[in-house]
Structure 1
């Protein structure tokens, strides 16, 4: 698994909504800058930090390697050629995006000597996709907020038996439907905080999934950690 830094000040919302990274193949002069060529080095399961406005606003996991793709509609008309490379990713927004200023003193010594995403002043270098050394990636992971549990909704609650009188148990069942709460905590313990297949250990990206479908399970099975797998999006 590799770590990447993508600077998306102009393109984040479009790429976030579409679930992808995209870079042109060449400039108008027929050159391929290193920060576009790096698209071909991304592999499924790699982690990507989205840098926008001086903050890491999201962490994504690569679902595919790069493949040929025309420029997505509505993105960068007149700025780049239409032919490019795309990587499909799954984004996870951070509830409290950390600022780079908070960690720049620790981060800069871990950056590569060439082609680093930050300059000596601690602000972003011009470019798109930068490779991060493992230690730099790990440092950023330490700053990632992993408390992004989805809120329970009335629509989810409709699937729970109304006979459950205890409010605490009812909430536990509601959260188990979306892989959160007691069920997720139990799976994190059983699987040691790692994806059961890939070994990915980034909690914010891991999904608590039922083996026997939630809708087909009784209330005990819905909360049973041995009826679940901790899985990465890829």
Structure 2
């Protein structure tokens, strides 16, 4: 199913709408992670975007490709005063709404539907939230705006929004990067215990490193040696990124390997020699239960 997004682009909307794209930096001015910018890499073809500028939603866009690293467009240098020369460019085809809608006119209906975290609007009033750019919203938010504007409903066939797996290894790596970014953003936060501290390189060099690692491993899990399917029915077989030495909290060259999610979960923070011992037990159990030919291992 299509997902729905809301973009706050007050100073850049004219150029982005005319050029059928969205552009954002990759990080905050101080180098910190931004979920609003990471969402540029999460959006997929077929998704719908509401354009919020000048306190109204006057355009609706459809995502037509994946975000790619791109230089700051010349036309955005003056109006937006961006601090980054390189960012993410997301292709979006824009259409003018039959009637613009001011969110403040339907704020009482919108407010309870807005996400509790990473909302595009302030909690207390219908104004764009500080630092918000591309925010995920529900279909319900779109319906409130569309009803207020009297728009013809937009129907997005499910087939028009491919899954990350349908997009091949590129999509699988993007999905893994999104999980890493979310984990890095949560690190140190409290739950029953606390999320372990971890960090990642900027997404662009890490993505290049993962492509290189995938090629070097020839598409096989570095822990069990079996090929990693791009679109598995079993979620434990999906691509996952493992830090070889879990005591090193960074996903950097020399400390990254690509695995099945199940293998990564089983290894957890154990050193490789402990994983090898455990894996020997698992393969023996599989052989004893007829899941493997006697005497064979997965490797």
| TM-score (norm. length: structure 1) | 0.61
Residues 145 and 65 of structure 1: CA distance in aligned 2, closer, same or farther (over 3 Å):
farther
Please identify, of 46-55 and 30-39, the stretch whose mean Cα deviation from structure 2 is larger: 30-39
Structure 2 partner of 1:97 = 100
Residues 71 and 121 of structure 1: CA distance in aligned 2, closer, same or farther (over 3 Å):
same
> Is the contact between residue 46 and residue 156 of structure 2 (CA under 8 Å) also seen in structure 1?
no
Say which of 116, 121, 125 aligns to 1:121.
125
Structure 1 partner of 2:297 = none
Given the alignment of the two structures, is residue 67 of structure 1 paired with residue 72 of structure 2, yes or no? no
Computed over aligned residues only, the root mean square deviation of the Cα atoms, in angstroms, reads: 2.4
| TM-score (norm. length: structure 2) | 0.48
- Give 1:31-180 correspondences, 5 Å limit: 31-77=32-78, 78-119=81-122, 120-126=124-130, 127-146=132-151
Cα offsets for 1:178-221 (capped at 9, x unmatched):
xxxxxxxxxx9xxxx85678489xxxxxxxxxxxxxxxxxxxxx
Cα distance in 2 for residues equivalent to 1:85 and 1:199: 22
Given the alignment of the two structures, is residue 22 of structure 1 paired with residue 27 of structure 2, yes or no? no
Cα distance in 1 for residues equivalent to 2:117 and 2:157: 36
Cα distance in 2 for residues equivalent to 1:94 and 1:117: 20
- What are the ranges of 5 or more consecutive residues in structure 1 without an aligned counterpart? 148-187, 201-234
Using CA pairs below 8 Å that are at least 6 residues apart, which structure has the higher relative contact order? Answer: 1
Give the secondary-structure state (helix, strand or coil) at the position aligned to 2:100.
coil
1:98 Cα deviation from its structure 2 partner: 1.1
- What are the ranges of 5 or more consecutive residues in structure 2 without an aligned counterpart? 162-299
Cα distance in 1 for residues equivalent to 2:111 and 2:87: 31
Cα distance in 2 for residues equivalent to 1:37 and 1:197: 23
Cα offsets for 1:147-179 (capped at 9, x unmatched):
7xxxxxxxxxxxxxxxxxxxxxxxxxxxxxxxx
Give the secondary-structure state (helix, strand or coil) at the position aligned to 1:6.
strand
> Is the contact between residue 70 and residue 88 of structure 2 (CA under 8 Å) also seen in structure 1?
yes
From the CA coordinates, give the structure whose radius of gyration is larger.
2
Give the secondary-structure state (helix, strand or coil) at the position aligned to 2:82.
coil
Structure 1 partner of 2:274 = none
Please identify, of 65-74 and 54-63, the stretch whose mean Cα deviation from structure 2 is larger: 65-74
